[in-house]
Amino acid sequence: MYDAATNAGVLDRYLLEQVKPFLQTITPRKAVFDHNYVKKIDGPNVKKGKNKMDLAEQVRDDMRAVPQDRQGASRLITIWCGSTETLSSPAPSTSQ
């Protein structure tokens, strides 16, 4: 997580260094990207799947696994790190 935070550049380097030991203990889960919507995003830690439903199920499995990963924590915080996607036009209506 420290490497990801460093590359993202969203925190001041001084602040990031203060939490470096903790961040180095966190391994991010694999991501899901759809290049039809987010053209300029990629990475080495990406889920593979047959289709969008398969990928969605993998993300749901990750979310279900969180309680087992808590390792004695008294509380849990979930952070959504989704990106802003490109605007898409609605499909034509098929109703008459």
The 10s digit of each residue's pLDDT in 18-44 is 999 999 988 888 888 877 777 777 778
Average pLDDT over residues 68-84: 70
Per-residue pLDDT tens over the stretch 40-56: 777 788 999 999 999 99
Question: 46 - beta bridge partners?
Answer: 31
pTM of the model as a whole: 0.61
Return the domain boundaries, the chain.
1-28, 31-68
The string of DSSP codes covering 23-68 is: HTT--PPPB---TTT-TT---SSB---SSHHHHHHHHHHHHHHHHH
Residue 95 in this model has a pLDDT that exceeds 70: no
Cβ neighbours of 55 (radius 10 Å): 19
pLDDT score recorded for residue 13: 92
Residue 96 in this model has a pLDDT that exceeds 70: no
Integer-rounded Cα Rg, in Å, for the chain is 17
Report the C-alpha gap between 37 and 44 in whole angstroms: 18
Question: 5 - beta bridge partners?
Answer: none
Report the C-alpha gap between 45 and 26 in whole angstroms: 14
